[in-house]
Structure 1
Amino acid sequence: MTTRDEHMSTDVNVGSITFTGLGSGTDFESMVTKLIEVESYHKKQMEAWKTEWETKIEALNEINTAMLNLKSTLETMDSMTEFLTKGVASSDSSVLTASADATAESGSHSIVVNQLAANAVITNANGLASKTTKVNTSTSAQTFAYSYKGNDYSVTVGAGATLEQMVSAINSDPANAGVRASIITDGSQYYLQMRGLDLGSNASLSFNASATTMSNAAFNDASDFSITQAARNAQVKVDGWPSASDAWIESNSNTLTDVVQGLTFNLKSLGSNPPAAVTISVETDYDSVKENIQSFVDNVNTVRSLVKTLTKFDENLEQGSVMTGNYAVQLVDSQLKQVTAEIGNGFLRYNAGPPATGDKISSLSQIGIMTDANEGSLTQGLLVIDAEILDDVLRQEPNAVAELFAATNIGGERVDTGNFSYYSGVTGVTKAGVYDVSYTVSGGVITGAVIDGKAANVDNEKGTITSMEGNSRGMVININDFPADSTGKGVVRLKQGKSGEMAAVLKDITNGETGALNILEDNYTDIIKSIDKKIDYEEQRLALMETNMRLKFSRLEALLGEYENLSTSMESQISQLSSS
């Protein structure tokens, strides 16, 4: 007789139990599955909770990436030269070209190029038959000497050395201060040519016959070398100056950087003879400036839009987004909005006076950049540009607009009493800002000085005071009427444009160790680790519970099988009794 035990298998293996048949007709497998599913409710809650924190981390990473992109963009326009582009045109680019930085004034300049700067070139007069002709026919070393830029140099030429070997000795000499030797030929003979690498009249080059002991007749007399190109300075007149016909602005370079503020002249050739004036025209590239402003606004709005999306609350669904109400994100958003809303760091509001003080442009709103506050607007909460206001201000005050975005430690002052001015600061140490200043000069010496509420260092030889602590540390202020007795009071400031100011804020926010977003992500990661531990505990608990259930149900299945067999046996016996 086949019993139900033979259709049921109980397998206990490595703490697990499986059912391969139903001996009693009861679906214990489904019962175990359902019971474990009910018991898994807390684990599923924790898994859902973990997913929420992971989603928050993804949102933080998304915000952080957007802010890093914004920071990178701002760093491409945080200096006046980068932001305020000046276009330069030349009436004859074959003679002269020019470039301009932000400090160049719009207008035109007349340039006359009389002479280009040149290097010195000397060539020996008596040629040799070949490159391998011996220049030292003796059996001992000899000396070849020359003078360059007022200094004497000598090279040892070995016994039996050829022209090629002497050239190599000159060029490889460790003491060589900038002279290049080479071999040239007229088709039949070979000559030693030496050229100085520096331009300008001070870079003279000559053969020093008195110190030369060469045995070859081509190198033992002062007349053996001729000057084939004399060292000379560039000569120009700018806007008719110097006025004397034989007077010129001279330079030892064909690149002139200190003739007109903000302009660099690149001399190419003399052009006509006599030389004609070349006109250099300088204009502000308003389109490029407006592109920079638009880029600033667009990239700020990218971050604002992202934060807006991640923190919005759907009133219809009465449901928030992943970062709704998140304090850190709100704080970061507030910091960035504060930069765009407030007066520029180190700027002073304009006062027409007299005397006029402060900055004509000190905030974004003055150039038509504001936050859209219209309820329901597609750009609500974003920066918008009033193109008409921007165009008008940009045409009138291009430098002031550029400073608002890109000033980098540009100093200034507001003098209430006395006579003083900002002199200098220390890059990376002196912070942008507005600082109160006061001082007293009595008996020809500075008797006391205060900068930003702290005692300043006094230099009575130079007539300066220097901040030694705080954000103004390193700031030097010149007392202009020193040593006259006086009392001075006012403010000195260093200006920082909005691009640099916001980039600095973003640098702090996105700092990999101390940034607010990084700290928040670390906190969320710790929470997830804690949840993972709880999930691991639940998984172990459920696995043990499932094992115990299967053991109990397997025993029950076996017991029911025995009762079933006993019942079948009794029924068979009763049937046999009845039939007998």
Structure 2
Amino acid sequence: MATLTGLGTGSGLELETWVTALVNAEKGPLTQVTAQKTATQSKISAYGTLKSALSTFQTTISSLATASKFNLQTATSSDTSLFTATATGSATVGNYSINVTQLAQAHKIASSGFSSTNAVIGSGTLEISFGEYNSTTNTFSVNGSKTGATITIDSSNNTLAGVRDAINSANAGVTASIVNDGSTNGARLVVTSKETGASSSVKISVTDSDGNSSDASGLSQLAYDPTSTAGAGKNMTQSQAATNALLTVDGISVTKSSNTITDAIQGVTLNLLKVGTGTATNLNVATDTDGIVKNVQAFVDAYNALDTTIRNLTNFNATDSTKSGVLLGDSGARSISTQMKSIFTQTIDGTSTYSTLSQIGVGFQRDGKLALDSTKLKTALETNFSDISKLFGASGTTTDALTAYGGSSTATKAGTYAVTVTQLATQGTMVGGGAPNLTITAGSNDKVTFSIDGKDYSITLAAGTYASTQALADQVQQQLVSAGSLAQIGVDGGGALKITSPSYGSDSRITLNGGNGASDLFGSATSTTGVNVAGSINGVAATGTGQSLKGATGDDSEGLFVKILGGSTGSRGTITFSKGFASQLNEVTTNLLSDDGLLATRTDGLNSSITRLTKQEEALNDRLDAIEKRYRAQFSALDTLVASMKTTSSYLTQQLAQLSANS
């Protein structure tokens, strides 16, 4: 507000004090608006605190909203020097007898010695492929699912070190290193398969620029065909055979290509470390009671922390109202608290054993806080372990072994729904018009291009005459894998090549685009597009995409996904869907924190109030400025008048005094 100085100096009156008092008397409305604005700003800050608390709560709850957090198991080996194990939660609790007789190994082959890493080897190409060598029949079966590579060696990389670097840069499924044994010609190239197992044996075919691709000179020194002989194509030596892991589980023989085994015992991963002594080692799979108790306690603690924040923001202090919570009586905060507590008092439908938290030892205390009775929870875990997870996460249980729960939405309601299939999903295929030409000539009929599920792939086949259509199919498979496709190649009943898409449904299709080898390999190929699964959930037509059926909009099953993994058409049993407490709390919290949720709405409303109150403040300040100016103008005139009268009075007094002195 504008300030005028010197008011009252003429009259000697306390005019400045009078103006201030009169203006302050007019400030009542401004004081009220300022107080409202301060209170509103405090509420905005309080809602920020509440939002932060809800975000922290959601972080914990969302991680507990999946069944896996409550399906915890331990897998303990009685000799961890032989193997270790982990369990996913779906394993059968009990003891298993494990005997490891052989570890899986990666294939290693080594070249003859060279004088140094700079020794020139030769030029040409190296083709690295993988397969399994049978020493009894002296045959090598190509592993079409493993990607190899063709590597060009020229004057830029024809040294021992250059070849090593070229192999490592080619991402060929092997690693190359140089080992020096200390002798005069001790530098040796060692090639190691990146994967273990008998089917990951390495084969190196050479096209040597010197014209002889199998002798022991030039680039062909690096040739390794396990079916050949030294100096005639088997010119590197094997330093470690490719072997599978061999073990017995409860007396049953198991053969695996890796020392990490995920499918010998359902729900258990074995990590083999050493061959045993012949005596079986015990593996104990048990419920991880402590881990589950820890997660349930985290659930309880997360709610209590949020509840404490809400209580602090809404509390009433009977002795000193100024110490009451900023959001005392606020409908938004009250709504959040009510929503949360209403979920805890619900009964979870669709579960077989437990339907309330109190049944597993979680309940409210007199002070309104949640508490966990860990003894009661552990008892529940011992009797009905598999049902605990349904109290917390969203889950679905099917009665048909070839149907599976695939997910849900916030619209999906708990319940049991019938599943009917009228059409099974299929994969897109392409079948050649007849038996393929088994002789592949470089630059003549070695290239083919495909479109698989909408993506283009180009392959180049290795030249040569293939022993069978299956052998040619294996080569096509290898090259497609190398190109990045998961499509499967085989031979149909008529002897033609057949490609099957890795996906299901109407987007699953394969077409032959061209290439110089398209005609020789596939002739007049026939393509068949896949179809989506079709059927109903809860008696209402569902949407089929690939192998998944999705519950219809508006039905109780809306958003429920059921995967149809095979089987037949017709009735496929039921799926029972339940939405646990953590899942529901996560959904509520997500809605509260959304851009159009309660918190955003309340904060926007409060910010609008701040804008309105600010405008009122400005208007009232302008009015007070005008009032003060008016008062100052009035009192300034009074000051001038009084000063003038005082001057006149002084003059008259002087004149009267002179008259008296002269009389």
Q: TM-score, structure 2 length as denominator?
A: 0.70
Q: What CA distance in whole angstroms lies between the structure 2 residues aligned with 1:495 and 1:577?
A: 115
What does residue 433 of structure 1 align with?
413
What does residue 284 of structure 1 align with?
287
Q: What CA distance in whole angstroms lies between the structure 2 residues aligned with 1:318 and 1:215?
A: 95
Identical residues among aligned pairs (%)? 27
SS of residue in 2 equivalent to 1:232: coil
Q: What CA distance in whole angstroms lies between the structure 1 residues aligned with 2:543 and 2:620?
A: 68
CA contact (8 A) 1:94 1:271 kept: no
What does residue 236 of structure 2 align with?
225
Aligned CA distance change for structure 1 residues 54 and 441 (closer, same or farther; 3 Å): closer
Which deviations, in whole Å up to 9, do the C-alpha atoms of 1:5-51 show, x marking residues without a partner? xxxxxxxxx96411266332210111111111111111001111112
SS of residue in 1 equivalent to 2:79: coil
What does residue 358 of structure 2 align with?
365
Q: Report the CA distance between 1:386 and its aligned residue.
A: 4.0
Which deviations, in whole Å up to 9, do the C-alpha atoms of 1:125-180 show, x marking residues without a partner? x32222222223xxxx434455434377554332593222232333334xx52122
Q: Which residue of the other structure, out of 141, 154, 157, is the alignment partner of 1:158?
A: 154
Q: What CA distance in whole angstroms lies between the structure 2 residues aligned with 1:439 and 1:400?
A: 23
TM alignment of 1:381-392, pairs within 5 A = 381-392=368-379
Q: Report the CA distance between 1:288 and its aligned residue.
A: 2.7
TM alignment of 1:320-469, pairs within 5 A = 321-344=325-348, 347-348=349-350, 358-372=351-365, 377=366, 379=367, 381-405=368-392, 407-412=393-398, 423-427=403-407, 429=409, 432-435=412-415, 437=417, 451-452=537-538, 454-456=540-542, 467-469=551-553
Paired letter, 1:285 = D
Q: Which residue of the other structure, out of 164, 167, 192, is the alignment partner of 1:167?
A: 164
Asked if 1:238 corresponds to 2:243, the answer is no
Q: Report the CA distance between 1:432 and its aligned residue.
A: 4.8
Asked if 1:300 corresponds to 2:303, the answer is yes
Which deviations, in whole Å up to 9, do the C-alpha atoms of 1:234-290 show, x marking residues without a partner? 12211211xxxxxx3122211111121221111111143xx3322122222323322
Paired letter, 1:475 = F
CA contact (8 A) 2:46 2:313 kept: yes
User: Which runs of no fewer than 5 residues in structure 1 stay unpaired?
Assistant: 1-13, 242-247, 349-357, 414-419, 443-447
Q: Report the CA distance between 1:450 and its aligned residue.
A: 6.0
Paired letter, 2:114 = L
Q: Which residue of the other structure, out of 114, 120, 142, is the alignment partner of 2:124?
A: 142
Q: Which residue of the other structure, out of 612, 616, 619, is the alignment partner of 1:537?
A: 619
CA RMSD of aligned residues (A): 3.4
Asked if 1:515 corresponds to 2:597, the answer is yes
Aligned CA distance change for structure 1 residues 325 and 453 (closer, same or farther; 3 Å): farther
Aligned CA distance change for structure 1 residues 276 and 284 (closer, same or farther; 3 Å): same
Q: Which residue of the other structure, out of 113, 117, 133, is the alignment partner of 1:131?
A: 117
CA contact (8 A) 1:434 1:492 kept: no
Q: Report the CA distance between 1:57 and its aligned residue.
A: 1.8
Q: What CA distance in whole angstroms lies between the structure 2 residues aligned with 1:166 and 1:440?
A: 60
What does residue 198 of structure 1 align with?
195
Asked if 1:256 corresponds to 2:261, the answer is yes
TM alignment of 1:6-45, pairs within 5 A = 16-19=3-6, 22-45=9-32
Q: What CA distance in whole angstroms lies between the structure 1 residues aligned with 2:80 and 2:616?
A: 76
CA contact (8 A) 2:99 2:276 kept: no
CA contact (8 A) 2:86 2:268 kept: yes
Paired letter, 2:153 = V
Asked if 1:57 corresponds to 2:44, the answer is yes
Q: What CA distance in whole angstroms lies between the structure 2 residues aligned with 1:465 and 1:528?
A: 50
Aligned CA distance change for structure 1 residues 365 and 422 (closer, same or farther; 3 Å): farther
Asked if 1:475 corresponds to 2:561, the answer is yes
SS of residue in 1 equivalent to 2:347: coil
After alignment, is 472-481 or 20-29 more displaced? Answer: 472-481
TM alignment of 1:482-497, pairs within 5 A = 492-497=575-580
Q: What CA distance in whole angstroms lies between the structure 2 residues aligned with 1:50 and 1:41?
A: 14
Q: What CA distance in whole angstroms lies between the structure 1 residues aligned with 2:221 and 2:537?
A: 72
Q: What CA distance in whole angstroms lies between the structure 1 residues aligned with 2:420 and 2:237?
A: 67
Q: Report the CA distance between 1:575 and its aligned residue.
A: 1.1
SS of residue in 1 equivalent to 2:292: helix
What does residue 428 of structure 2 align with?
none
Asked if 1:118 corresponds to 2:105, the answer is yes
Q: Which residue of the other structure, out of 502, 511, 514, is the alignment partner of 2:585?
A: 502
CA contact (8 A) 1:257 1:265 kept: yes
Q: What CA distance in whole angstroms lies between the structure 2 residues aligned with 1:533 and 1:26?
A: 37
Q: Report the CA distance between 1:370 and its aligned residue.
A: 2.4
Q: What CA distance in whole angstroms lies between the structure 2 residues aligned with 1:455 and 1:146?
A: 52
SS of residue in 1 equivalent to 2:371: strand
Q: What CA distance in whole angstroms lies between the structure 2 residues aligned with 1:478 and 1:210?
A: 49
After alignment, is 553-562 or 431-440 more displaced? Answer: 431-440
SS of residue in 2 equivalent to 1:396: helix
What does residue 562 of structure 1 align with?
644
Q: Which residue of the other structure, out of 600, 609, 612, is the alignment partner of 1:527?
A: 609
What does residue 9 of structure 1 align with?
none
SS of residue in 2 equivalent to 1:257: strand
Q: Report the CA distance between 1:530 and its aligned residue.
A: 0.2
Q: Report the CA distance between 1:88 and its aligned residue.
A: 2.8
SS of residue in 1 equivalent to 2:414: strand
SS of residue in 2 equivalent to 1:224: coil
Q: What CA distance in whole angstroms lies between the structure 1 residues aligned with 2:204 and 2:569?
A: 56
Q: Report the CA distance between 1:63 and its aligned residue.
A: 1.9
Aligned CA distance change for structure 1 residues 87 and 48 (closer, same or farther; 3 Å): same
CA contact (8 A) 1:435 1:491 kept: no
Paired letter, 1:554 = S
Q: Report how many aligned residue pairs link the two structures.
A: 516
What does residue 416 of structure 1 align with?
none
Q: What CA distance in whole angstroms lies between the structure 1 residues aligned with 2:272 and 2:411?
A: 40
Q: What CA distance in whole angstroms lies between the structure 1 residues aligned with 2:128 and 2:295?
A: 55
Q: Report the CA distance between 1:82 and its aligned residue.
A: 2.9
Q: What CA distance in whole angstroms lies between the structure 2 residues aligned with 1:291 and 1:307?
A: 24
Q: Report the CA distance between 1:435 and its aligned residue.
A: 4.2
Q: What CA distance in whole angstroms lies between the structure 2 residues aligned with 1:492 and 1:215?
A: 66
SS of residue in 1 equivalent to 2:104: coil
